[in-house]
Amino acid sequence: MAQAQKITPRAKDFSEWYNDVVMQAELADYSPVRGCMVIRPHGYRIWELMQGALDDMFKATGHENAYFPLFIPMSFLAKEAEHVEGFAKEVALVTHTRLKATGKPGAQAVMPDPESALEEPLVVRPTSETIIYAMFAKWIHSYRDLPLLMNQRRRGRCSACIARSRSNGWRCR
């Protein structure tokens, strides 16, 4: 177990207090991927229990689960233009579907395979409504298809942990 350190008082800085508790309880740890955390076994068990409780509550109200992709076409990002400025510098872009070996050592041992370039780049955007509404447009044809009670699950990067995580996968519509 990690050596106990001082925990920031909750009244002083709630966010810092939360991070201190999560780290000292060894519920999560920072990963080598910038802005992401790894949820450790005890933290994941807490998350499983939270998911189970929330899932029961959603289903009790008639909601059904659906899973939506983390990747959206770059053109979908333009539909969110008013929001882009705030996060555009933090968006990851997928341009190829595979790598190929170069025969070089170290970090240059692989490179994107030029033959695998995507026609349209994909943006890693775990909070995009555009992919969801594109699907709703396919599924909803008249008022008879409503209400659409759906719990939207997605995975994404996480800059916090457990309930505050962006990868918690819970979004209700």
pLDDT at 22: 93
pLDDT tens string, the chain, 173 residues long: the values are 556 689 999 999 999 999 999 999 999 999 998 778 899 999 999 999 999 999 999 999 999 999 888 898 988 887 877 666 665 556 788 999 999 999 999 999 999 999 999 999 998 876 778 888 999 999 999 999 999 999 887 654 343 454 444 444 434 33
pLDDT score for 164: 45
User: Rounded CA gap, 124 and 160, in Å?
Assistant: 17
- Other residues' Cβ atoms within 10 Å of the Cβ of residue 173: 14
Q: Report the amino acid identity of residue 116.
A: S
b/e 41-72 (16+ beta carbons within 10 angstroms → b): eebeebbeeeeeebeeebeeeebeeeebebbb
Looking at the chain, the number of H-run helices and the number of E-run strands are: 5, 10
Please say whether the structural domain 1-70+127-173 has been given the CATH code 3.30.930.10: yes
The pLDDT value recorded for residue 171 is: 40
CA distance 170 to 173: 10
Give pLDDT, residue 73: 92
SS3 127: coil
Query: What is the model's pLDDT at position 128?
Result: 78
For the chain, the structural domain boundaries read 1-70+127-173, 71-125
Neighbouring C-beta atoms of residue 8, cutoff 10 Å: 16
The pLDDT value recorded for residue 160 is 46
